[in-house]
């Protein structure tokens, strides 16, 4: 079931949560909607579920327009950030709820619930069906919530920051799990998150949103390596921003000159990732294919896998990661020209 | 030496003070109660004797054979009707107020508070004249109505808070799986609200059982509840009978408060002081 939205607008007072959003969610694919809080991603998801009625625009599930259809009749299944399991029901009753609404006969209901609990790998936890959600860990609760959503074989699976309440280790495991399940079931899934790493890791396609609009959409690789705006580049990774002026053959950052061959002219924003740059002590020259910035190393933090260096360049503080520590003092920062993104400011 | 004596003396003083405090509190709470108990078993006790001259079950027997049981019965009947009617009215109303952007929500909540905002006597006197005009005064239905005026605020305010304390996503999850609003209310909101609803129900029940001013004004002379009975007997200087009535009136209150303590969460009272 492919899902399309066309020109969605939703206003809350004077704020536009959705400001003309059009996009397509491919059938059987997992699409991540990524963006900072307040960008409209949750409103978009809730409008797909039918909890939010849009002011303008159309929502299509396949050929069927569902814009005005009630949440009950949309055939979506949602996984909530805070699990939203019913605390007064057992795990079994939670999962069986949707099937009971559909008047599934008892024997079939039992086998389907058991099967889906196995699928989310919680069926083997002893007596899990008879337990209350509160007796399970956060990760287990979210598995149950996934089971509750999947057991009714929904047309579209909606996930609203499903992992953001879990601690880092469980989050990483469950992330792979969600991906495995979605592929195994072959369901169209929309996954909302503010975590860029999660979006890149889990999705077939990433949609980046900001201020109620779609900023960029594409495969994770595309979005990561070719961000089309300063916002996208900044949001997708630990990034540095420098203000500069772009000319036909060079970039000026303060008093420093960098090589440039791109299309931007005039005031520009330069963006590069902390991991793409390198830093070395002293006043060495630029390596071939690299832009060179001189600055002063002020601070250095050990992050475990890398050292993060804070370098003062033309009044801005840049972050540069490196495997080897560099001592504070005058340094040069090298950025591969290919990794230096330049946008009109 | 002083260092070892000092703290010990300190502990001694503190213990003494604490015990004195406990005795004082116990006296303030239990002295009137004990006098009630003593009076209820007294046959004759006249000034200047420090203790009753004659004890016995005479008045207990007299009371249990007489009007008190009738007062108890009609008081309970009224309380049950008031509670049931209040529940039927407030559960849907509180749910609407908690979940939907009802226009004038603050005004609605304030309206229920109004009878409590003014001095009780004028409110009830006015209500009484009104009820006389529609022929409801001095009747059970009149007393039920006047009790509901006072009870609705507790019920509406606590129940709204109860429904508000249930995360909306729990209901959305049910709609999302295809459950109608009514089905969701029945299978999700209502079971989760039940402890709070019980607490709220008990508050209303106790309020009705103990209500005095309105009952006296509206119900007289035909409707007799325990507080009214107690009042009549004590102004008639039948202190023994009044004491027994007071003791009996305390029992349901005590029993329900024990139950209430289990169900009432502080968040259910969160609506008070916030609109």
Query: Which residues on B lie below 8 Å from A77 (Cβ)?
Result: 176-177
What strands lie across the sheet with A256-259, from one edge to the other?
A: A256-259, A250-253, A239-246, A266-273, A341-344
Residues A97, B170: C-beta atoms closer than 8 Å: no
| Cβ pairs A/B, distance under 8 A | 56
Just give the CATH number of B59-269.
1.10.3720.10
3-state secondary structure B146-189: HHHHHHHHHHHHHHHHHHHCCCHHHHHHHHHCCCCHHHHHHHHH
Q: Is B178 on the interface with A (CB under 8 A)?
A: yes
B197 close to A (CB below 8 A): no
Give the ipTM of the model, two decimals please: 0.84
User: Class of A3-230 per CATH?
Assistant: alpha beta
Chain B residue with minimal CA distance to A51?
B172
- CATH 2.40.50.140 domain extents, chain A: 238-344
Count CB neighbours of A135 within 10 A.
13
pLDDT class of B269 with cuts at 50, 70, 90: low
Mean pLDDT of chain A: 92
The model's pTM is 0.80
Least confident range from A18-22, A292-296, B241-245: namely B241-245
Residue B265 has pLDDT above 80, yes or no: no
Tell me which residue in A78, A84, A102 faces B170 most closely, judged by beta carbons. Answer: A84
C-beta of residue A270 within 8 angstroms of C-beta of residue A253: yes
| 3-class secondary structure, B202 | helix
Mutate which: B99, B165, B177, B181, vs A, most A CBs within 10 A: B177
**With an 8 Å Cβ cutoff, are B177 and A88 in contact?**
no
DSSP, residue by residue, A289-305? TEEEEEEEEEEEEE-SS
Region(s) of chain A under CATH 3.40.50.300: 3-230
Alpha-carbon separation of residue B180 from A72, A206, B144, B188, B271 (angstroms) = 7, 34, 35, 11, 28
Of A71, A82, A102, the CB nearest to B175: A71
Closest CA to A238 of A306, A186, A157: A306
Q: Which residues of A touch B (CB under 8 A)?
A: 49, 51, 70-73, 76-78, 80-82, 84-88, 97-98, 101-102, 148, 152
Q: What is the pLDDT of residue B9?
A: 79
User: Residue written as tokens 């520590």?
Assistant: A325
What are the C-alpha distances in Å from B240 to residues A20, A48, B212, B252? 80, 72, 20, 20
Q: Which residue has the higher pLDDT, A307 or A288?
A: A307
Tell me: pLDDT of B273 over 70: no
Q: Average of pLDDT values for A306-320?
A: 92
Q: Where residue A159 falls among pLDDT bands split at 50, 70, 90? A: very high
The pLDDT of residue A47 is: 96
Give the model confidence (pLDDT) of A172-195 as tens digits: 999 999 999 999 999 999 999 999
**Angstrom distances, CA of residue A236 to CA of A179, A244, A343, B130, B257:** 21, 21, 15, 71, 58
Q: Which residues touch A21 (CB under 8 Å, ≥6 apart)?
A: A5, A7, A8, A9, A40, A44, A57, A209, A212, A213, A214
Render pLDDT for B204-261 as a digit per residue (tens, 0 to 9).
Answer: 998 999 899 889 988 888 888 888 888 887 787 778 888 888 888 888 778 877 877 7
CATH number for A238-344: choose from 3.10.20.30, 2.40.50.140, 2.60.40.10, 3.40.50.700: 2.40.50.140
Question: Which helix or strand (DSSP H or E) is residue A160 part of?
Answer: strand A156-160
Structure tokens given for A81: 């950030």
Indicate if the pLDDT at residue A110 is higher than 60: yes
> How much is the pLDDT for B6?
63
Instruction: Quick: pLDDT tens for B82-116.
Output: 999 999 999 999 999 999 888 888 888 888 888 77
Listed by start position, the domains of chain B span 2-58, 59-269
Mean pLDDT of the region A256-278: 89
The region of weakest confidence among A60-64, A325-329, A341-345, B179-183 is: A341-345
pLDDT of residue B1: 45
Predicted confidence (pLDDT) per residue in B111-149, tens digit: 888 877 888 888 888 888 889 898 888 888 999 999 998
Q: Which residues of B touch A102 (CB under 8 A)?
A: 178
Q: How confident is the model at residue A238 (pLDDT cuts 50, 70, 90)?
A: low
Q: List pLDDT tens digits, range B36-91.
A: 888 888 888 887 888 888 888 888 887 777 778 888 889 999 999 999 999 999 99
CB contact under 8 A, A86 and B170: yes
Separation in Å, CA of B132 to nearest CA in chain A: 48
Q: Residue A76: which pLDDT band, with cuts at 50, 70 and 90? A: very high
């Amino acid at each position: 079931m492919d899902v399309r939205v066309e020109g969605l607008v939703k206003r809350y007072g004077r704020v536009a949560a959705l400001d003309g959003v059009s996009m397509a969610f491919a059938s059987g694919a997992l699409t991540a909607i990524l963006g900072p809080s307040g960008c409209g991603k949750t409103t978009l998801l809730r409008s797909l579920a039918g909890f939010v009625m849009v002011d303008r625009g159309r929502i299509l599930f396949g050929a069927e327009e569902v814009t005005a259809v009630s949440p009950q009749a949309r055939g979506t299944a949602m996984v909530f950030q805070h699990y939203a399991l019913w605390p007064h029901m057992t795990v079994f009753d939670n999962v069986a709820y949707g099937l009971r609404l559909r008047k599934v006969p008892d024997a079939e209901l039992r086998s389907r619930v058991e099967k889906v609990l196995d699928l989310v790998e919680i069926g083997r936890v002893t007596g899990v069906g008879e337990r209350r959600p509160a007796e399970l860990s956060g990760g287990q609760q979210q598995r149950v919530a996934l089971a509750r959503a999947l057991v009714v074989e929904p047309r579209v699976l909606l996930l609203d920051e499903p992992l953001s309440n879990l601690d880092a280790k469980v989050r990483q495991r469950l992330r792979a799990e969600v991906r495995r399940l979605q592929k195994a079931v072959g369901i169209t899934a929309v996954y909302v998150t503010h975590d860029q790493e999660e979006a890149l890791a889990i999705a077939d396609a990433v949609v980046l949103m900001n201020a109620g609009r779609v900023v960029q959409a594409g495969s994770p690789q595309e979005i990561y390596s070719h961000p089309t705006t300063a916002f996208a580049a900044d949001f997708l990774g630990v990034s540095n921003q420098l203000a500069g002026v772009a000319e036909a053959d060079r970039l000026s950052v303060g008093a420093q000159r960098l090589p440039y061959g791109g299309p931007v002219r005039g005031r520009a924003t330069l963006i590069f990732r902390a991991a793409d740059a390198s830093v070395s002590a002293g006043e060495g020259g630029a390596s071939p294919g690299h832009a060179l910035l001189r600055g002063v190393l002020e601070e250095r933090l050990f992050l475990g896998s890398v050292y993060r260096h804070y370098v003062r360049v033309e009044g801005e503080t840049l972050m540069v990661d490196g495997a080897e520590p560099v001592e504070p003092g005058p340094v040069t920062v090298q950025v591969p020209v290919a990794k230096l993104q330049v946008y009109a400011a | 030496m002083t260092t070892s004596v000092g703290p010990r003396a300190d502990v001694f003083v503190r213990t003494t003070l604490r015990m004195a405090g406990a005795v004082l509190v116990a006296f303030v709470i239990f002295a009137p109660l004990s006098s009630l108990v003593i009076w209820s078993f007294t046959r004759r006790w006249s000034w200047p004797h420090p203790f009753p001259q004659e004890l016995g079950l005479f008045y207990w027997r007299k009371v249990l054979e007489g009007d008190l049981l009738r007062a108890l019965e009609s008081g309970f009947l009224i309380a049950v009707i008031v509670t049931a009617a209040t529940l039927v009215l407030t559960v849907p109303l509180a749910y609407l107020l908690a979940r939907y952007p009802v226009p004038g929500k603050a005004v609605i909540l304030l309206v229920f508070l109004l009878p409590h905002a003014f001095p009780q006597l004028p409110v009830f006197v006015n209500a009484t004249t009104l009820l006389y005009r529609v022929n409801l005064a001095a009747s059970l239905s009149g007393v039920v109505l006047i009790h509901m005026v006072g009870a609705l605020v507790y019920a509406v305010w606590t129940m709204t808070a109860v429904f508000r304390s249930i995360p909306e996503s729990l209901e959305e999850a049910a709609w999302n799986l295809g459950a109608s609003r009514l089905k969701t209310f029945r299978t999700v909101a209502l079971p989760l609200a039940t402890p709070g609803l019980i607490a709220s129900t008990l508050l209303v029940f106790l309020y009705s059982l103990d209500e005095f001013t309105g009952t006296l004004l509206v119900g007289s002379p035909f409707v007799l509840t325990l507080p009214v009975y107690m009042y009549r007997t004590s102004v008639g200087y039948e202190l023994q009978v009044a004491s027994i009535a007071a003791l009996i009136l305390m029992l349901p209150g005590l029993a329900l408060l024990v139950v209430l303590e289990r169900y009432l969460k502080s968040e259910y009272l969160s609506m008070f002081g916030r609109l």
